[in-house]
Chains A and B, each alone.
Chain A
Amino acid sequence: MSFDPHAILESKRALRRKLAARPVAEKLRLLDALRERELAIRGRRIQAESNVLREEPAPFRSKPL
C-alpha cells in the first residue's frame, strides 16, 4: 500500500488493463452484474435529486446518432 499518487494511478491503470484483457463472455457477465447494481442504486435515489444538473436526465431515452 502506498500513498504515492503515481503508484496509485499506475495500479488503477493496471487493474483496468487486467479487466480489459478478460474473455469477452466474462466481461459481458460483468456488464449484467453492473447493470443490476446500477438499477438498484438508481432506485434508491431520492426525488430531490431531480434538480441536479446532469447530462442524461432519464435512464431510457432516444439518442442522437
Chain B
Amino acid sequence: MDIKEVIRAINEMEGDGVIEGYAIGGAVGATFYLEPVATLDLDIFVTFRSEPGSLLVSPQRIFDYLKARGGTMQGEYVVVAGWPVQFLPPGTPLVEEALKEAVRSDVEGTSARVFTAEHLAAVALQTGRAKDKARLLHFVEAGVLDAKRFQAILARHGLEDAWRKFERQFLSDTP
C-alpha cells in the first residue's frame, strides 16, 4: 500500500495525455495541510478528455490505462498500489474552480497537484456531511486558511449563509 505510487501513476497518466489535469481532494488532499486522518479511498478530480468525434466524456480511458498497468476495478474504483481511487469530474462550479486553481506540492521528489486549503474547506462546507463539517473545523482550528481568499470563494459560490450557519453551530459560544 503506497499512496505515493498512486500519485506517480496519475502523473504518468497526465503526461501520456489520458487526462488534461487532476487534483487530489477529500481526506488525502486535506492531509497536505492538516494532520492525517484515516480514510479508505483517494478522491482524484480530473478534467476528462472527450473521445474524438464525441461530446461525451468518459472515464473509460482512465480505467483502461490503469488496468493495463496492473490496476484492478472494484465497483466505481480503480485499485492502484492497494488504494481504491475514485476519479470524479468537477460536478459543481466550486469544484471546477478548485481544480483550475489547484497547486503543485512536492512529495519527496514526486509532484502532486492538490486543491488549495481554502477550496478543500469550501468544498467540505458545500458537501456538508458530518465528516465534512469535522474537516472544516480542523481547517479553522489549524489556522491554515487565508481568511480573505476563503471568504471570496464563499461569496463567489453562494456559500455565505452556509458558513454563517456553520459559525453559529461550531464556532460560537452561544448557539
A contact residues vs B (CB 8 Å cutoff): 13, 16-17, 19-20, 23-25, 27-32, 34-39, 55-56, 59-65
Contacts and interface: CB of A to CB of B under 8 A. Distances in A.
11 contacts: A16-B141, A16-B142, A24-B32, A24-B106, A31-B3, A31-B38, A32-B1, A32-B2, A39-B40, A64-B127, A65-B127
B41 A60 contact: yes
Contacts, number: 88
B43 A20 contact: no
B106 to A, nearest CB: 8
Contact of A25 (B4, B43, B130, B141): B4
Nearest to B77: A60
Given A25-B108, A39-B40, A31 B31 contact: yes
Contacts of B37: 34
Interface string B118-146: 00000000010111000000100110100
Interface of B: 1-4, 27-28, 31-41, 43, 74-77, 82-84, 86, 88, 90-92, 95, 105-108, 112, 127, 129-131, 138, 141-142, 144
Contacts of B90: 65
B42 to A, nearest CB: 9
Given A62-B76, A63-B88, A65-B92, A13 B141 contact: yes
A24 B107 contact: yes
